[in-house]
Amino acid sequence: MGNADAKSRIVRVQSYACCPWRTHKMADSSFSALIAASATLITAFITQFLAESYRRFKDGSAVAAGIVGELNSHKDAVPLIRISLDTAADNIRIGRKDQLRFRGFEKPADRFFDEVVGKVGILGPELAESVIFIYANLNAFRSSLMLIHSTHNDMEAAELLARITLSLDAMERAVKTAEETIPKLRSRSKKCFWHCLLG
């Protein structure tokens, strides 16, 4: 029995010695299969990564362009509001508070911003921070102005003047930041995907 096992091992060794290409062929086949599988996985990953990156890029371009349009739509009203509030403040300073008349109004809505606020982060940290700052100050300005219009008759002159000043300050902060941010948003909306991807 021992002699038979020994002979069998000798035969196998002789077989490998005579035909080493069989072993190499099996190793090459396994290696090729591994390479092919890895290439497939890498290709799938890159394809998915590019598709997701492109989707986010296009969303970012649309958000940037939409915000530019919405902010620009407010520009024409700024000088008129500034004159109106400055005039009211001047009248209060010279003792004519009782002559002021403020009409009630419905608080404006930023429909585009309200729709995309959850996507603002795709613009990047700097632009997202500026956009949120602008809209937060617009909201503060509108809320303060609504309070002035609805309750000015119940306010003392000093309080009314202080609230008008606060309203103007909030509006000016929004306007100043918007003037700095709009060109950056417009540039972002026109960027090429491949240029952004390749840095």
| pTM, rounded to two decimals | 0.74
pLDDT at 195: 62
Average pLDDT of the residues in 144-163 = 92
**Long-range CB contacts (< 8 A, 24+ apart) of 121-128?**
122/56, 122/59, 122/60, 122/63, 123/60, 123/63, 123/64, 123/185, 123/188, 124/188, 126/184, 127/64, 127/181, 127/184, 127/185, 127/188
pLDDT at 57: 81
Domain ranges of the chain: 55-198
For the ranges 7-16, 105-114, 120-129, the maximum mean pLDDT occurs at 120-129
Average pLDDT of the residues in 22-36 = 59
pLDDT at 83: 94
Query: What percent of the chain has a predicted confidence (pLDDT) above 90?
Result: 55
